[in-house]
Structure 1
Amino acid sequence: MNDQLPEEKPEALVFKYELDASPQKLWRALTIPEFRARWLPDLAESEPEEGATIPEKQISYKMREKVPPFLETQVIFRIADNDDGTAMLTIIHQLTDARIRQQRDAANSNHVLMMIAA
């Protein structure tokens, strides 16, 4: 029998990239739909989330899968300046779909199951 606890699922996927572009150029690529469609086609038609945008520093988009179960996710792009004029891009991708976030009791939770008579 295995006494180890299962690993918790991470809340988000985080990717960091050092890019050979200025932060201003990267910001334009993330915010202008025609540019965004070239390298992020799934976000081409998405609108930024209100209240989650910090001009030239952070922008957030909601995505929905095109195939069942049509899960919703949030993608956050953060831009930081490097000392040499290039940009550090951090991408945070997290599952936000309420159907997944619901806590469910384990099958062996020892809760008393009661049925209501009709």
Structure 2
Amino acid sequence: MSVQLPDEKPEALVFKYTLEVSPQKLWRALTIREFRARWLPDLAESEPEEEATILEKQISYKMREKVPPFLETQVTFRIADNDDGTAMLTIIHQLTDARIRQQRDAANSNHVPMMMAA
């Protein structure tokens, strides 16, 4: 078990599932909008933009929250074949919003802000 310090931020949330469907059927569920809306209603509501695809193996969607602060994330679905004909689904959810990645000085850093001269 690893311990995460309070100031550390995880790079991504990773979930792995073994599903009793063929990888081809799972691929269709992830890539056809009508199927995706039934299977993943929250993703469908976010009006995702498709970002990257490796045919029948991986698809990524860029999403934006519908409520403030409207953060942007990337959700990647990876499909692998299991020996018994089932599919292994790996979901990687990563916060990609540039506003979160900005480093800010602490309020008590004793750092005097200076403006750059023209």
Which bracket does the TM-score occupy, shorter chain normalised? 0.7 to 0.9
Deviations for 1:49-104, whole angstroms, at most 9, x for unmatched residues?
Answer: 1xx21000000001111111111111000001111110100000011111111111
Alpha carbons 2:18, 2:86 under 8 Å: kept: yes
> 1:72: which partner in 2?
72
Structure 1 residue ranges, 4+ long, deviating more than 4 angstroms after superposition = none
| Structure 1 CA distance for aligned equivalents of residues 53 and 27 of structure 2 | 11
SS at match of 1:76: strand
Deviation at residue 115 of structure 1 after TM alignment: 6.9
Is the Cα–Cα contact under 8 Å of residues 43 and 61 in structure 1 kept in the other structure?
A: no
Give ranges in structure 2 of 5+ residues lacking alignment.
none
- Bigger mean CA deviation after superposition, 63-72 or 24-33: 63-72
User: Following the alignment from structure 1 to structure 2, what is the Cα–Cα distance between the partners of residues 95 and 47?
Assistant: 15
Bigger proportion of residues as strand: 2
Partner of 2:81: 81
Match of residue 13 from structure 2: 13
What percent of counterpart residues are identical? 90
State the partner residue of 1:110. Answer: 110
**CA RMSD of the aligned region, Å?**
1.8
1:83 is aligned with what amino acid? D
Highest CA radius of gyration, 1 or 2?
Answer: 1
TM-score (norm: length of structure 1): 0.84
Decide whether aligned partners of structure 1 residues 7 and 105 sit closer, same or farther in structure 2, where only a CA change above 3 A counts: closer
Name the structure 2 match of 1:48.
Answer: 50
Structure 1 unaligned segments of length 5 or more: list them: none
Instruction: Kindly state the Cα deviation for residue 107 of structure 1 after the two structures are TM-superposed.
Output: 2.2
